Structure 1
Amino acid sequence: MVKIGNIELGDFPLLLAPMEDVSDPPFRLVCKENGADLMYTEFISSEGLIRNAAKSIQKLDIFEYERPIGIQLFGSDVETMGECSRIATAAKPDLIDINYGCPVKNVACKGAGAALLQDIPKMAEMTSAVVKATHLPVTVKTRLGWNEETKNVGEVAERLQDVGIQALTVHGRTRAQMYKGEADWTLIAKIKENPRIKIPIFGNGDIDSPEKALDYRNRFGIDGIMIGRAAIGYPWIFNEIKHYFKTGEKLPPPTIAQRVEATRKHLEFSIRWKGDRLGILEMRRHYSNYFKGLPNFKEYRMRLVYSLDFQEISSILDEVSIAFDGFLLEKQEIKVEYAGVD
C-alpha cells in the first residue's frame, strides 16, 4: 500500500499531473471518473495568492468528489511560499505540493519552478518553510536537473526528504530539454534504489499507453506513475492502465458516444464553475483533443469553437455522435499546447 502521510493510495497509484490551463475542476472531474487516484490543482502563484489575485484564489477551489487532492504552489521567495502554504491549507486539500519542475520562461526565469534546481540550499529552505507552515503532507514535483551537466535530482531527493516532504515526483527530463527528446527514467530508478530514501517516488514523462506503464513499472521500480499530457482529451487512460495491469488485456478505445458524453460533462461543469461565457470560451481548447484523429471533424470543431450557446453546442455534439456512430478512434498523440504542462 502506497501512502502519503495517512493518505492511502492503493498498491500502485496513477496520479494526474498538475497542468496550467488544463487541470481545473471540470477536467479533474472526467479524470477522477476514469480512474485517477490522486489529482492536483493547476499550479498557483505564491505572489498571486498573497495579492489575492482572482485567478489564483479561484484555483483553490476543490470539491469532495476529488479527494484525495493536492494544491500545488510555486514561487521564488521563501517567506511568501510559507505564507501561501498557510493560505492553501485553509482551503482544506489533502496535501500541499511544491512545483520545482515547470520549465517555461515566465516561471523559471523569475526564480521559480525548475529554476530552484540551480540552488538546492534555497530549495531546501523553501521546502522546510512550507512543511512548517502546514499540518498537511507536503510533496514535491521536479525534474532531473537544470541541464545535462547538472542532473542533481538524487541530491534533491535526499535533501527534501530530510526537511520533511512525504513523496516526490520526478519528470524524466532536464529543464533545458523542456519537452523534447525521450524522458529518461534511469535516475528516477536510482532514487528509488537509494536505501536512504523512504518516501514514495513517482515517475512522470512520456507514459501514453498501458503497455508502457507496465514496462516502466517493472523496469524502474517506482511507487506510482504521474500522467499529464496523455490524459488531455483522453481521461480513459487511467482505467485502461489499471485494466491492463490486472488482466494483461487492453480495453477497447472509447466510442464516439463516450467521447461526446465526456466532452459534454466537461463543458457542463466548466459552465457551472466559471459561468456561461467563460465556461464556454475556456472549453474551446479541449474539443480538438477529445476528437483528435476523427476524419472530417474540422467543420464540427469550427462550429463548436464559434458557438457561445450551450444548447447549440450540445446539439452539435449530438450531430457528431450520430455522424460518427460506430467509428472507433484510437488514441492520438496530444500536442503540447499549454504553457504549464510539465
Structure 2
Amino acid sequence: MSAGIQIGDVWVPGRVLTAPMTGITDLPFRRLASRLGAAYVATEMVAAAELARARPDVVRRAAVGEGLPLTVIQLVGRDPAAMAEGARMAEAAGADIVDLNFGCPAKEVTGSACGSALMRTPDLACRLMQAAVEATSRPVTVKMRLGWDDAHRNAPLLAKRAEEIGVRAVTVHGRTREQFYTGVADWAAVGEVKAAVGIPVIVNGDILTADDAREALRQSGADALMLGRGVYGRPWLAAHMERALADGTVLLEPDRDGRLGIVIEHLRASVAFYGLPLGLKMFRKHLGWYVEQAPWPADPLERRAAKGRLCRLETPEAVEQALAALWLEVTHSGNPGVDIPPQLAETAVA
C-alpha cells in the first residue's frame, strides 16, 4: 500500500481518510483525530449559501483552527452562485481541498434538492462543480453515492463529467440514496467508477476493520478509502488502520489508559471550543460512543447503564470524576493494567 494519495496539488500522506459528518467532525474532533495520526479529516457538511451569508453556526462548522496538517471543507448546496462564493470563502479560510456533497441521503437535505438528490439532476450537479472549480485555485473533489436508486446508478457517468470539468478526485459511497444505510455497501460497484475515470477514486461505506479496508480496496480498485460511522467513539481508527494496512498486521486499539486520556482530551477540547453548557451537550454523543466502543464493562447491560449515568451528568468535572471512577472500578474488578494516567489524575479525581 502506497504512502498516500495525490489530489490536485495536495499530497495526502495516507490512504485512510475520514469523511465529513454533521455533528461529528467538528474542530475538536478533527484536531484530536489529526493528533492521533489521521491524514485527512474533513469538516462537517457546510451549507454554501449560509456560509456565504456568514451565519455564525455555519461558520463554526467550517472552523479550520490551528494544529491541523490538512484542511478539507465540504460544501453542500444547489445554487451555483452560492457554491462559487462558498468555495472562495473556503479557500480564504485556509482550505487545502474543497469537497462538494452529492451524497447525503438525509430527507432534510434531499428535500432541498441538495446532497444525493443532485444525482437525479446531473446537469445541475455539473453546474455546481463548474462554479466551484472556477471560483477557487484549490482542488475541488466530490463525494457521491452510486445513484439515486438501483434503476439509476449513474455514478460512473457523473464522475466522468466531473473529471472533464476539473474535479480532482471523487469519493463514492457504495449505496444508492434509496438504500440510506441499509443492506451492505457494494464496493465492487465503486470499481465501475474507477474504470470510468483517471482521477483518484476513494471507496466509502461499511469499512470498520482492517480486513474490511483490504477487501474494499481489492473489490473497488480504489486509490484510497474513507471511514464514516466507524470512527464513532474511535477517533484513532484512521491512523491505526493506516498502520495495519501498511504492515499487514491486525488493527490494534488503544489500551485503557490511552482511551481514558483520549476521552478526557476530547471533553476538554469540546468545552474550550463551544463553552458551557453547549460544549458538554455537543460532547455527550461522543461520550456515549466511547463507552459503547469500550470492551468493558464486559456485560453490555452494565456498559449501557454506565453510558446512561455519564451522559446525564451536568458538568465537565462530574464527567471526569465519573470516568475516573469507572476506570478504577475496572481495575479493582480484576481486569489488568488500568491506572489513571498521572497527567490526568489531579483533575480527573477531585
- The question of a shared fold, defined as TM-score above 0.5 by the shorter chain, is answered with yes
Q: Distance in 2 between matches of 1:26 and 1:19?
A: 13
- 1:307, 1:185 → 2: CA distance? 41
Residue pair 2:72, 2:99 contacting (<8 A) in 1 also: yes
Alignment check: 8 A CA contact 1:256 1:327 kept: no
1:3-41 CA distances to partner (integer Å, 9 max, x unpaired)? Answer: 11221124x511110000111011112322333211110
Shift of 1:243: 2.6
- Residue of structure 1 equivalent to 2:342: none
Output one character per residue of 1:187-240: Cα deviation in whole Å (capped at 9) or x when no partner.
21122223xx22110000000001111122233221100001001101232233
Q: Does 1:321 align with 2:327?
A: yes
Q: Give the superposition deviation at 1:317.
A: 1.2
Alignment of 1:287-326 (within 5 A): 287-292=287-292, 294=296, 295=299, 296-325=302-331
- Which residue of structure 1 aligns with residue 97 of structure 2? 95
Contact 1:39-1:66 at 8 Å conserved across structures? no
One-letter amino acid matched to 1:210: A
Q: Is residue 72–residue 98 contact of structure 1 (8 Å, CA) maintained in 2?
A: yes
Equivalent positions of 1:251-270 (< 5 A) are: 251-270=251-270
Deviation at 1:300, TM superposition (A): 3.4
Segment of structure 1 superposing worse, 263-272 or 61-70? 61-70
Q: Which residue in 1 is equivalent to 2:345?
A: none
Deviation at 1:281, TM superposition (A): 1.2
In the alignment, structure 1 residue 6 sits paired with structure 2 residue 9:
yes
1:76 to 75, 78, 83: 78
The separation in 2 between residues aligned to 1:303 and 1:120, in whole angstroms, is 48
User: Which residues of structure 1 form unaligned runs of 5+?
Assistant: 329-342
The number of residues matched between the two structures is 325
Structure 2 vs 1, CA of residues 327 and 112 (structure 1 numbering), >3 Å: closer, same or farther? Answer: farther
* TM-score, length basis structure 2: 0.88
1:154–1:187: 8 Å Cα contact kept in structure 2?
A: no
Instruction: State the alpha-carbon separation in 2 of the partners of residues 252 and 224 from structure 1.
Output: 20
2:31 aligned residue? 29
- Contact 1:256–1:324, Cα closer than 8 Å, also in 2: no
Query: Which runs of 5 or more residues in structure 2 are unaligned?
Result: 337-350
Aligned residue for 2:123?
Answer: 121
1:108 matched residue in structure 2:
110
1:183 is paired with a residue of what secondary structure?
coil
Work out the CA distance in 1 between the residues paired with 2:244 and 2:82. 44
Give the 3-state SS of the residue equivalent to 1:253 in structure 2: coil
User: Aligned equivalents of 1:212 and 1:302: distance in 2?
Assistant: 31
What aligned pairs does 1:1-342 form with structure 2 within 5 A after superposition? 2-10=5-13, 13-194=15-196, 197-292=197-292, 294=296, 295=299, 296-325=302-331, 327=335
Measured after TM superposition, the shift of residue 318 of structure 1 is 0.8
1:103-132 superposed Cα distances (whole Å, 9 cap, x missing partner): 111000111101110111111111100111
Structure 1 residue identity aligned to 2:225? I
Q: Quick one: which amino acid aligns to residue 324 of structure 1?
A: V
> Using the alignment, how far apart are the partners of 1:64 and 1:15 within structure 2?
19
Change (3 A) 1:248 1:327: farther
C-alpha separation between the residues in 2 aligned to 1:263 and 1:25?
Answer: 15
Shift of 1:44: 0.6
Q: Closer, same or farther in 2 for the Cα pair 1:82/1:327, shift >3 Å?
A: farther
Q: Which moved more, 1:203-212 or 1:287-296?
A: 287-296
Q: How far apart are residue 251 of structure 1 and its match?
A: 4.2
Would you say the 8 A contact 1:98–1:139 is kept in 2? yes
Alpha-carbon distance in 2 for matches of 1:273, 1:132? 33
Contact 1:15-1:39 within 8 A present in 2 as well = yes
Q: Which moved more, 1:32-41 or 1:291-300?
A: 291-300
C-alpha distance in structure 1 between counterparts of 2:212 and 2:307, whole Å: 31
CA distance, structure 2, for counterparts of residue 82 and residue 327 of structure 1: 55
Distance in 1 (alpha carbons) for counterparts of 2:136 and 2:49: 18
Q: What amino acid is the match of 2:109?
A: V
SS of the residue corresponding to residue 49 of structure 1 reads helix
Q: Which amino acid aligns with 1:104?
A: A
Larger RCO: 1 or 2 (CA < 8 Å, sep 6+): 1
Q: CA RMSD in A?
A: 1.7
